[in-house]
Amino acid sequence: MTEMVFGAVPVRNGEPILPKWWRTLDKWALSCILMLFGVGMLLGLAASPPLAEKNGFDPFHYVQRQAFFGGLAMIAMLLTSMMSPTLVRRLAVVGFLASFVALLFLPFFGTDFGKGAVRWYSLGFASFQPSEFLKPGFVVIAAWMMAASLEINGPPGKAWSFGLCITIVLMLALQPDFGQACLVLFGWGVMYFVAGAPIVLLVGMAGLVVLAGTVAYSNSEHFARRIDGFLSVDVDPTTQLGYATNAIREGGLFGVGVGEGEVKWSLPDAHTDFIIAVAAEEYGLVLVLCIIALYTCVVVRSLMRLVRERDPFIRLAGTGLACMFGVQAMINMGVAVRLLPAKGMTLPFVSYGGSSVIASGIALGMLLAYTRSRPQGEISALLGRSRS
């Protein structure tokens, strides 16, 4: 009778964890994530050998490292997706606190690896980027605060989450890492909108972002150089954007052929920030559209399941994680085709990078955990009963 009224998944007492997890999981989203990782490994085989040769490593050195870190990411994703929403929230709080402390000490102990922005800790055998792990933890904590503010006599969670968001944005901007700062601000804005923020406030925030960008342009040479390069009518063919633009144009519909691309020999970040240029050159528009479709499927499937969710915390946290995942992919691909200024942001699960792929695995594990079917009345049923 309960199933007929609420459309819920039946509870089976004593059901083992794995069957229960598989029965309630969004299998379409999981399949798309695994395919994205597979595409990343395929493109890594094409993009990383030139860099490995330049650095004196085995031709597949970076591919092997990507497989190792990717394997850790898949394990982290699957384990996290098996957790309850409450346990995921506790994990997010611990991860956020550790990442926040690491971000605080980054100016003193971090390194820029010659890229002009202090974003990493060098561990010798690998590097660690705290901001990658900070994002999913921040989304969950901000959602928790906002959900608490919706309760009767609840705390001012929206104001607390805004203060925390601004603190993180300022810390990231000082690195400077304006791309991650914008991503954090966007994630908070989406959750705040879903939580019922007035549109006037969001428009005002957009104006403040424009004002902050103007100030940054006037005071940051790093920021101004990227904006000037983006606004320039002519693209310097010897820059990364120039190489990427030419590679995408040469690829056409079906590409120049596997292993026949030239951009990977010219772009120092062909295996990371501009991996989509390698895909477009060697495999053409067809593969690029497939990649876009996979990202779209993950985001849309997650939002479709979350819109039926009754718990405001789960709804807000899942929405923030899904939208942040999708927008990061949009930013990376938008930079490659010169729709956005260069931001130094990886393509989730496709680009090379230990911190990026492991953090993406944890974030998507949280999203899969929050979008699992639960034996509860959906929000539509609740609204219908309130109207009657």
Question: Tens digit of pLDDT per residue, the chain (388 long)?
Answer: 444 444 455 545 567 888 899 999 999 999 999 999 999 999 988 888 888 888 888 888 889 999 999 999 999 999 999 999 999 999 999 999 999 999 999 988 888 877 777 888 888 777 888 999 999 999 999 999 999 998 888 899 999 999 999 999 999 988 888 889 889 999 999 999 998 877 777 777 778 777 877 877 777 776 777 777 676 666 666 677 778 888 888 888 888 888 778 888 777 777 888 899 899 999 999 999 999 999 999 999 999 999 989 899 999 999 999 999 999 999 999 888 888 877 778 899 999 888 899 999 999 999 999 999 877 645 555 455 445 4
Backbone angles phi, psi at 319, to 5 degrees: -65, -45
Q: Compute how many other C-beta atoms are within 10 angstroms of the C-beta atom of residue 287.
A: 20
> Residue 185 contacts by C-beta under 8 Å, 6 or more apart in sequence?
165, 169, 209
Q: Are 128 and 120 in contact (CB under 8 A)?
A: yes
Q: Are 365 and 79 in contact (CB under 8 A)?
A: yes
R_g of the chain, CA atoms, integer Å: 22
Q: Are 319 and 190 in contact (CB under 8 A)?
A: yes
Q: Are 337 and 108 in contact (CB under 8 A)?
A: no
pTM: 0.88
The one-character DSSP state at 3 is H
What type of residue is 308?
A: R
Report the candidate in 243, 236, 229 with the shortest Cα–Cα distance to residue 341. Answer: 229
List, in sequence order, every residue forming a beta bridge with 128; answer none if it has no partner: 121
